[in-house]
Structure 1
């Protein structure tokens, strides 16, 4: 059996993590098994399922600068205790430099860096991430990306292969009965419902999202906004909602396990991100046949629906609002929205990754 060590931050329910689980559930686990090296001390949403599927979860120290001596010691000991790992696959963008460097020192022969973004969060580790970005090609043997722009961003001229952010599409397909039930649960009647799913963080740009929605309310007062997710900017965004006087029109739904049903309750999906790789939620929303509105910082390769639009990030929120309402008027019955591509269907795409692992293993 081929055991692949997947290196992640944690396995909570988020885009990258959900994508990994989609592949993990589908691959032939009699031939290929995933184990997970996480960088948080606590158990996460998917840990129980991972273990039920035969995988192991390890908990390394967090990748804070002050933790690096402890982290390096942990990784040296980890690979001494686990010489069985011949393939490691890291998904933490520039920070992948650290586990891959440890793997290189320990003699792990196949070390895969996987790019999932087209920029870097401007947090306290920004300059450190920029430093690691310059060096990541020196510690990886192979390069994968969720899309062309993500690969070009992280690998800077090195050849890479694309692994689509594929999903199990069936739970997301439009269902009128689910829509009715979910809207009743949320206390929604005939309102126009705008939705967003994502961590409440700098990257996702909830400030602009709320400003756009405030302008939608001016044009259509019978509107609601669903914000699904949690994050470090939540308090700031709640204050903005209050300052704009739309508290009664915005539902903060937190972390959810029923996102496939929440898409059914929406009438449109809006994602004004500062940067993205290929967002899994964007794929899910299109399979749900929602009109989707992305910023022009989201790679166009995510699009496979005739009802998907890209709007310049710097456009005024009022322009966003008018564009959204005008475009939605063209797609009154979402059941008729046409999809054009199946590369994001896990039933078509899991074989791509499965074959890659077999090819990597054949080099040993």
Structure 2
């Protein structure tokens, strides 16, 4: 325990159905602007999960410590039993390809783009499905677009789950085309289960850890389609184990680092 005032920022956002999206963003911008000034003035210790989130929160990297998000690695490792159980729940066969999108259904997460990328793939590979995990104001738009593209029978929704770590095992590939991110915890977690990931370059650089994640530097659908077509999907056997390069994100290691920072402020 320490008397130091700590501001830790990960650039996450929350929303309520009681406000329109535009009104909510307006209020959040006002609140963030006020909070940033107060925090910068009062904080003795500043922590952020990435350089981008540090610059957004503190407007500087000076005297800001970058600490990785911590993950319970064992909770996210590949689980073949969970894969079978969850795919059965969706009536997805072993040889079908299951794409995934996980996140709030807002513009910044770019879910419509993910649907369009999948639409091109499924036309050439009909034994494919897209699972969208999350809720938000764009759900109705996603349903509308999927009907226009005539792939609505290929898209499945899960509004909420407390087993996202298990769903990574059920998926064959994760699409993460965010327009901006303070960090990008979902694609990092996905790599623990050796899940293939396509992610935009708006995700924090330290998230691109293993060979399983592919960074794409634009939002041209043809580019994403080309990367997707050239990917070799992993077998169940290839997804066993945890890549040693992810050990630096182990939650115990991150907790120890923050504890040492707190001790230094006593």
Pairwise same-fold verdict (TM > 0.5): yes
- Structure 1's unaligned 5+ residue stretches are 3-86, 88-108
User: Hey, what's the Cα distance between the residues in 2 that align with 1:272 and 1:200?
Assistant: 12
Structure 1 residue aligned with 2:6 = 112
State which drifts further: 277-286 or 125-134. 125-134
User: Hey, what's the Cα distance between the residues in 1 that align with 2:127 and 2:242?
Assistant: 24
Q: Within 5 A, what are the aligned runs for 1:119-134?
A: 123-125=25-27, 127-128=29-30, 131-132=33-34
User: Hey, what's the Cα distance between the residues in 1 that align with 2:33 and 2:164?
Assistant: 36
Cα deviations across residues 177-202 of structure 1 (Å, max 9, x unaligned)? 22122211221102111112111112
SS of equivalent to 1:324: helix
User: Hey, what's the Cα distance between the residues in 2 that align with 1:222 and 1:172?
Assistant: 26
Structure 2 residue aligned with 1:9 = none
- Structure 2's unaligned 5+ residue stretches are 14-20
Give the counterpart of 2:217 among 312, 321, 343: 312
User: Hey, what's the Cα distance between the residues in 2 that align with 1:356 and 1:127?
Assistant: 30
Structure 2 residue aligned with 1:227 = 132
Distance 1:346 1:131, change over 3 A: closer
1:154: Cα distance to partner?
A: 2.2
User: Hey, what's the Cα distance between the residues in 1 that align with 2:207 and 2:50?
Assistant: 8
Q: Within 5 A, what are the aligned runs for 1:1-20?
A: 2=1
Matched, 1:352 2:250: no
Normalising by structure 2, we get a TM-score of 0.85
Q: Is the CA contact (8 Å cut-off) linking 1:172 and 1:284 kept in structure 2?
A: yes
Structure 2 residue aligned with 1:169 = 73
Aligned length: 253
1:126: Cα distance to partner?
A: 5.9
Q: Within 5 A, what are the aligned runs for 1:19-30?
A: none
Q: Within 5 A, what are the aligned runs for 1:309-348?
A: 309-315=214-220, 317-329=221-233, 331-332=234-235, 333-335=238-240, 338-348=243-253
User: Hey, what's the Cα distance between the residues in 2 that align with 1:245 and 1:296?
Assistant: 29
Matched, 1:215 2:117: no
SS of equivalent to 1:342: helix
1:133: Cα distance to partner?
A: 6.8
Distance 1:137 1:200, change over 3 A: same
Structure 2 residue aligned with 1:148 = 51
Matched, 1:187 2:91: yes
User: Hey, what's the Cα distance between the residues in 2 that align with 1:133 and 1:272?
Assistant: 29
1:285: Cα distance to partner?
A: 0.2
Q: Aligned-residue CA RMSD in angstroms?
A: 2.6
User: Hey, what's the Cα distance between the residues in 2 that align with 1:336 and 1:161?
Assistant: 31
Structure 1 residue aligned with 2:179 = 274
Q: Is the CA contact (8 Å cut-off) linking 1:305 and 1:339 kept in structure 2?
A: no
Structure number with higher relative contact order (C-alpha < 8 Å, ≥ 6 residues apart) = 2
Structure 1 residue aligned with 2:111 = 206
User: Hey, what's the Cα distance between the residues in 2 that align with 1:161 and 1:134?
Assistant: 16
1:174: Cα distance to partner?
A: 1.1
Normalising by structure 1, we get a TM-score of 0.63
